[in-house]
Homo-oligomer: A and B are copies of this chain.
Amino acid sequence: MREIAQVLDFIVEIEKLKNVIRHTRPVGLDRYENSAEHSWHVCLAALMLKDYADEPVDIDRVIRMLLIHDLGEIDAGDKIIYASETAAQKDHEAQGVKRILALLPEHVRAGYFELWQEFEAGESAEARFARAIDRVPPLLHNLHGGGHSWREHQIPRERVFGLNSRIGLGSSALWEEMEKRLQRAVDEGLLK
Interface of A toward B, CB cutoff 8 Å = 2, 4-5, 7-8, 10-12, 14-19, 26-29, 33-34, 36-37, 39-41, 43-45, 47-49, 51-52, 60, 63-64, 67-68, 104, 107-108, 136-137, 140, 144, 173-174, 177
Contact = CB atoms under 8 A, between A and B. Distances in A.
A150 to B, nearest CB: 17
Contacts of A17: 37, 40
B108 A48 contact: yes
A52 B6 CA distance: 12
Contact of A40 (B8, B26, B67, B173): B67
Majority secondary structure, A binding face: helix
A101 B2 CA distance: 41
B67 A8 contact: no
A103 B103 CA distance: 40
14 contacts: A4-B49, A4-B173, A4-B174, A5-B177, A7-B48, A11-B44, A12-B27, A15-B26, A15-B27, A18-B33, A18-B37, A37-B37, A39-B40, A40-B40
A36 to B, nearest CB: 4
B51 A108 contact: yes
Contacts of A64: 47
A104 B47 CA distance: 12
Given A12-B140, A19-B28, A40 B36 contact: yes
A157 to B, nearest CB: 20
Given A18-B29, A47-B64, A48-B108, 5 more contacts: A11-B41, A15-B29, A19-B29, A37-B37, A44-B67
Contacts of A26: 15, 18-19
